[in-house]
Amino acid sequence: MDSVVSDAARGVSPSVGAGPEPEGNLRSWQTQLARAPVATKIVIAGGFGVGKTTLVTAASEITPLQTEALMTQASEGTDDLTGTPEKLTTTVAMDYGRLTLDDDLVLYLFGTPGQQRFWFMWDDLVRGSIGAVVMADTRRLKDCFPALDYFESCGLPYVVAVNHFDGSERFGPEDVREALTIPAHIPVMIMDARRRISVIETLLALVGHALDVTPE
Confidence of residue 196 (pLDDT cuts 50, 70, 90): very high
**Cα 75 to Cα 49, 69, 70, distances in angstroms:** 14, 12, 10
First and final C-alpha spacing in the chain: 25
161 is a domain residue: yes
Provide the Cα torsion 188, 126, 210, 52; round to 10°. Answer: -30
**Total domain count for the chain?**
1
29 is a domain residue: no
Pairing of strands 89-91, 105-111: unpaired
18 is a domain residue: no
> Which ranges in the chain belong to alpha helices (H)?
4-9, 28-31, 52-59, 122-126, 145-154, 173-180, 196-213
Rounded-to-integer distance, Cα 71 and Cα 88, Å: 6
| Residue-wise pLDDT tens digits, 69-82 | 554 444 455 545 55
146 is a domain residue: yes
**Domain that includes residue 104, residue range:** 4-8+36-213
Q: What CATH number does residue 172 fall under? A: 3.40.50.300
Could you tell me which residue, 21 or 174, shows the higher pLDDT?
Answer: 174
22 is a domain residue: no
| Residue-wise pLDDT tens digits, 197-210 | 999 999 999 999 99
Which pLDDT belongs to residue 24? 59
206 is a domain residue: yes
Closest CA relative to residue 47, chosen from 140, 150, 164: 140
**Which bin fits 17, alpha (ψ -120 to 50), beta or left (φ > 0)?**
left
pLDDT at 124 over 60: yes
Question: How many CA atoms, within 13 angstroms, populate the side-chain half-sphere of residue 53?
Answer: 16
pLDDT at 112 over 60: yes
Rounded-to-integer distance, Cα 119 and Cα 10, Å: 41
3-class DSSP state of 162:
strand
pLDDT at 89 over 70: no
